[in-house]
Amino acid sequence: MALALAGVAASAGCWSTYQDLHPDESPWKNRTTTTTENEQAPTTTTPTQTTTLPPVIPTSDSGEVNLPPVADKTSPVGILELMHRAADWQLANPTNDEKTGWIYAAFYDGVMALGKIDANGKYLEAMLTQGAENRWKLGAQEYNANDHAVAQMYLAMYELKSDPDMIKATQQGFNFVLDFPKSNPSDLDFARYGAGDKWSWCDSLFMDPPAWAQLSKLTGDAKYLESANLRWWITSQYLYEPKEHLYYRDSRFFSKREPNGEKVFWSRGNGWVLAGLARMLDALPKDYPDRPKYEKQFRDMAEKIKSLQQADGLWRAGLLDPASYPDKESSGSGFFTYALAWGVNNGLLDRAQYTPVVMKAWSALADCELPNGKIIHVQPVTEQPNGFDPNSSRPYGVGAFLLAGSEVYKLAGGK
């Protein structure tokens, strides 16, 4: 299907499509902009020495409730209990982050994954409530992938509830992008004004394409998947390093080097991509012509990530220079664990080779959960390897933990 993505003006037919859906005004009118991960300023890597500050373990005097240890953290029962505690802690400790933004969107994905494997309906109910509070709307920026990420939760809820109001705004928003495409779609230079309106940073491949593919699956309209497929491979051609089987975070990192002389490949950035690949493959038809390309990239990246796992089971913020970033990092590691476990569960990765990698990673992630359920060792919002407080926790890190747990639970025999 031909799409208006080559910088040409939208046709009259496309215009009528948008007007039919929302005749009076743009769905983005009067919205405010939000700060997103790709807008952070630093562009130089900051290696650190081993952090001596120990994680804070809350006591009863702190007002937190410390729960008894989980006996077996790798059994289905134990995995589910760890997930319950993590989700409960984050739900009880909301942050001031925008509830339609990417920081929370990744957490919602994790809660939805937990809700689908858990007999207790409270997690799906929490997402139903959150979607209603959001009025099922996307984030503030009409083209920015970070503000489309929340659509993945809406679409997953729609798949369960079949309420068209849950995806109406998503469909309107995506039609707007199709009807009024940005010019020069292959120009992904991150230094240029408007780069955030295209998939010009690797994180965007988790935030946006799976929602477009899922919308195609649920509506039967191929135009959304065709758009996502075209733009995925434009970004891949630009940011993917085929010799390393890793993604640069964005164009500013092409020439940067780590202290050891290696190229700069950020852990969470590549975690976003590998998890995004898993979620794309989940939504792609089995006979989709380009599916083999996604499967190959997934396998190639998985093999590389497997080779970079550290002795403790986690990955470091700088993938090719772990010695310069010795601290644990649980968000990138969580997304890697999720994707690798998903690959085994769905027959894309060899069970004998990858199960030990996944279970070692999960055990290490489980050790990043405090007795009250808080997930720590989460690198704060950034765009590159750097050092950080080991007690740091953010909703997207909890989401990565829950996504990982949902697939490890299945791998461990959970039903």
* 213: exposed, middle or buried (Cβ count in 10 Å: 0-12, 13-18, 19+): buried
3-state secondary structure of 46: strand
Q: How far apart are CA 36 and CA 179, in angstroms?
A: 24
- Alpha carbon 174 to chain centroid, angstroms: 19
Q: Please name the residue ranges forming H helices in 240-385.
A: 267-283, 291-307, 330-345, 351-366
Q: How far apart are CA 56 and CA 240, in angstroms?
A: 38
Indicate the Cα dihedral angle 80, 82, 83, 85, nearest 10°.
120
- Strands of 190-293 (E only): list them: 240-241, 246-247
Catalytic residue among 147, 179, 203, 327: 203
Angle at CA of residue 155, ends 246 and 374, nearest 5°: 65
- Is 165 marked active-site? no
* β-sheet bridge partners, residue 266: 318
Structure tokens at 15: 């215009």
Contact assessment for residue 325 and residue 316, using Cβ atoms and an 8 Å cutoff: yes
Residues in the chain: 415
Among 214, 332, 202, smallest CA distance to 273 is for 202
User: Nearest 10 degrees: CA dihedral of 393, 396, 398, 401?
Assistant: -120
Cα Rg for the chain, rounded, in angstroms? 20
CA distance 333 to 160: 29
Contact 144, 173 (CB under 8 A): no
**Among 354, 372, 348, 366, which residue's Cα sits nearest to residue 404?**
366
3 state SS of 263:
strand
- Taking residue 311's Cβ as centre, other Cβ atoms within 10 Å add up to 8
How is residue 183 annotated by DSSP?
S
What residues are labeled active site? 203
